[in-house]
Structure 1
Amino acid sequence: MTTVHTTVVVVGGGQAGLATSWCLTRDGIDHVVLEAATAAHEWADTRWDNFTLVTPNWHCRLPGYAYDGPDPDGFMTRDEVVAWLGGYAATFDPPLREHTRVTTLRQGEAGGFVLESTGPDGETTWSAEHVVVATGGYHVPIVPPWAAALDPGLTQLESAHYKRAADLPDGGVLVVGSGQSGTQIAEDLHLEGRQVHLALGDAPRVARTYRGRDCMTWLADMGLYDTAVAQYPGGLAAREKTNHYVTGRDGGRDLDLRLLASQGMRLHGLLAGGRGTRLEFRPTLTAALDAADATYNSICADIDRWIEREGIDAPPPSRYSPVWTPDADPLELDLAAAGVTSVVWAIGYRPDYRWVGVGAFDGSGRPTHHRGVTAVPGLSFLGLPWLHTWGSGRFLGIARDAEHVTATIRESVGARPQVRRVS
């Protein structure tokens, strides 16, 4: 077994890990980036064929690197995101080791940290003064335990494994979850002519464009993506909120589940349980649709107030009015009778840090931190949703988060930023 010492080990070679490496490279701090697969691989591996960003392209900013294409207000496709991210490492040549999985992290007896990894060169032990965990917060898909009791003839898969409608057997599809992935996958299947059943959670929604501009551009101007999580109503509880559903497909549009229902999509409330081919739902459909629309209109009202306060010349305001309402909340579904042959689980993910043997977590297994820096000296996290602001889980906020975390490292090791920035 090889033993290697470095000042900083960055675990994860996605956008957060690469952004951290850019800052450390600029500051002349010795480090290594350990990536279990390939850099930024999840964009290619866990998104479906017709995936697009839901944030405008101009949001795509990393330290020393920003989208500079011809459509800043458009939405890159999966393959375009992969290509854009693929060009980042070449701008500063990070000390990246791909196909190297960290299996354990623990504190060293004499201080610092010890990590074990496996890779192309076998097993390696790393010692470091600092560790930045940049593996994100979406590790294990949430699937209810009773899913195993459903008819074995059903095809079941998690949203990360969905690629295209043609991969699923003929027949209807039940999508469980109405967050960003669930609603977009449901629409993708609907556009491919499939009979789709969608079980809604409590996700809110937002208009794609309002009063002449993309809503996310308005919200950025209003400072929503720069506001610290502690300043939001409920404080840190905002980290548990589900993101608003909308799509960037075909140039961007609202995801109006009522409209899709009027076109034949079958909507249901929260999925409560099931066995064989029989499913039970809670009577939450009407309330879920109403709550999502209320959020939609509330955000529009916030934009109205901003426009008025700033004296901006913009098209007149409007509000969403329902184009379809359910006659009743359906409480049961026989999958066989409805012709449903597949289930796509899009409930969400939970973190899995079992390889981190350091006491920096709360009772739910999530790291406790302030702006990514934990109470354990030298241990930080990056790439988490709401790490510091709403923008933290997006390209828009990664640079600021990486700068903050690497600044604490720089202060600890006594390094100074180099005058010439890496480009």
Structure 2
Amino acid sequence: MSHPTTAAVPHHRVVIVGGGQAGLSMSACLSAAGVEHVVFEKHTAMHVWRTQRWDNFCLVTPNWQCALPGHPYAGNDPHGFMKKDEIVAWLDGFRRKVDAPLREGVAVQRVRPRASGGFDVQYAQGGDTLHCTADHVVVASGGYHVPIVPRMAERLPADVLQLHSEQYRNAAALPEGAVLVVGSGQSGAQIAEDLHLAGRRVLLAAGDAPRCARFYRGRDVVDWLADMGYYEMPVEKHPLREGVRDNTNHYVTGRDGGRDIDLRRFAAEGMQLFGAMEGVDGTTLRFKPNVAEVLDRADAVYNSINASIDQYIAREGIDAPPGGRYEPVWAPAEERGQIDLREAGIAAIVWCIGFAPDFGWLDAPVFNGRGQPQHHRGVTALPGLFFLGLPWLHTWGSGRFSGIARDAQHLAGLIAQRPQQAAAGVPAARAAIALA
């Protein structure tokens, strides 16, 4: 008769879930504080940057904002915009420098708080289900997990190729014919531009994304906003408070040295613009007839940001080139609420409407009704559970290369100050039962 093993499961002071820039930043700060930890990564470190970016992807924020812990941008183009391969090389350098206790190919399946304090962690590795315990868990896996593709996609003809933005690589990889891009956030606007510049016929179903200028009054808008203190503003002082976390990012590009993305100019050059896509009836695609309104709102945000820069320049007495308002270069002659995809020659659709969070593996009462974590600067109401790398976790830069270091240092300081529990020493069989 066999008996269950009584070997103690491993215990860690901290388990970090996710081996991207956030997880390795957390590791760097914990190592500096002398706190034992392990990093579990489902795939490979930084895999998103290698596998979920199109070929011509580049940063939309200037290189000088890239500043992970102990690893600032050190190239010769601080006001440029790194391309995909350059980003990957920079991140690889960070990984080597951190030399984290990283375990790749480890998929965390469940995290559950223990009655005595700390957490039980169940994970899969190499086909085995394993367990450990931890005093603290830092969730650094981001908030973009499940690609959003609407159910109406199921009603599209089978011969129309459908991709999510994470699958798009380049224009040549798509079949001949027109391409419909659904969504005009950062990915949608830049993918539409990528296809447009490649000479493809593009139709764009635009959403409510705002836009901003790349350069204004002699400088990158990011430089102006940095001087104005915008990137230091904590979420609780933002006019929208936590509501800012739901905002769609402004579309702009760093491509070819950086420029505006002006959908009106694309339309004047032949791109077809529509309102938000609402439905599919056979080969008929239905759109909200509001493209003029969408463009006007995006331009209003564009002009509002520039006006705030004008006010700052005047208040500080800065000598800068003259500014001005954006004036539309194109306006729709009519609103089209539907088209026939066969008549339009649409051969492919790229869905660029974002991702949904998936924290189903985290069995903890720290989420709101939409499945989003509730926290203050990454600290949840459950002792020992933290989040890192989410948009507006603390400031604008929290979900970007510019703000993760500060957030990680803050959390590492809190963890280092918490009393260390004795290693759990829970028998493996008991741990498996607790997590079942």
Same fold (TM over 0.5): yes
2:139 and 2:387 in contact (8 A); partners too: yes
Structure 1 window deviating more from structure 2 (145-154 vs 54-63): it is: 145-154
What is the Cα deviation at residue 33 of structure 1? 0.5
2:28 and 2:100 in contact (8 A); partners too: yes
Match of 1:315, as an amino acid?
P
Matches within 5 A, 1:256-335: 256-335=262-341
Alignment gaps of 5+ in structure 2: 422-436
Question: Which of residues 53, 58, 79 is equivalent to 2:59?
Answer: 53
Alignment partner of 1:226 is 2:208 = no
1:175 and 1:198 in contact (8 A); partners too: yes
SS of the residue 2:181 aligns to = strand
Structure 1 window deviating more from structure 2 (113-122 vs 61-70): it is: 113-122
Could you tell me how far apart the structure 1 residues matched to 2:86 and 2:41 are? 22
1:376 match: 382
1:146 and 1:275 in contact (8 A); partners too: no
Deviations 1:116-162 (A, max 9, x none): 11124833211000000000001111111121011111111100000
Could you tell me how far apart the structure 2 residues matched to 1:365 and 1:262 are? 41
1:175 and 1:343 in contact (8 A); partners too: yes
Alignment partner of 1:196 is 2:209 = no
Question: Which of residues 174, 179, 183 is equivalent to 1:177?
Answer: 183
Please tell me the root mean square deviation across aligned C-alpha atoms, in Å: 1.3
2:13 and 2:420 in contact (8 A); partners too: no
Alignment partner of 1:101 is 2:97 = no
2:192 match: 186
SS of the residue 1:91 aligns to = helix
Deviations 1:327-349 (A, max 9, x none): 01111011110000101000111
Could you tell me how far apart the structure 1 residues matched to 2:126 and 2:80 are? 40
Alignment partner of 1:245 is 2:251 = yes
What is the Cα deviation at residue 92 of structure 1? 2.8
Instruction: Tell me the TM-score normalised to structure 1 length.
Output: 0.96
Question: Which of residues 191, 212, 217 is equivalent to 1:211?
Answer: 217
Alignment partner of 1:360 is 2:343 = no
Instruction: Tell me the TM-score normalised to structure 2 length.
Output: 0.93
Match of 1:269, as an amino acid?
G
SS of the residue 1:70 aligns to = coil
Could you tell me how far apart the structure 2 residues matched to 1:121 and 1:97 are? 15
Could you tell me how far apart the structure 2 residues matched to 1:313 and 1:411 are? 48
Could you tell me how far apart the structure 1 residues matched to 2:280 and 2:410 are? 47
Alignment gaps of 5+ in structure 1: 416-423
What is the Cα deviation at residue 315 of structure 1? 0.7
Quote the sequence identity (%): 57
Aligned residues: 415
Q: Which runs of 4+ in 1 moved over 6 A?
A: none
SS of the residue 1:286 aligns to = helix
SS of the residue 1:288 aligns to = helix
Match of 2:144, as an amino acid?
Y
Question: Which of residues 143, 158, 162 is equivalent to 2:164?
Answer: 158
Deviations 1:237-266 (A, max 9, x none): 111111100000011100000000001000
SS of the residue 2:200 aligns to = coil
SS of the residue 1:16 aligns to = helix
1:421 match: none
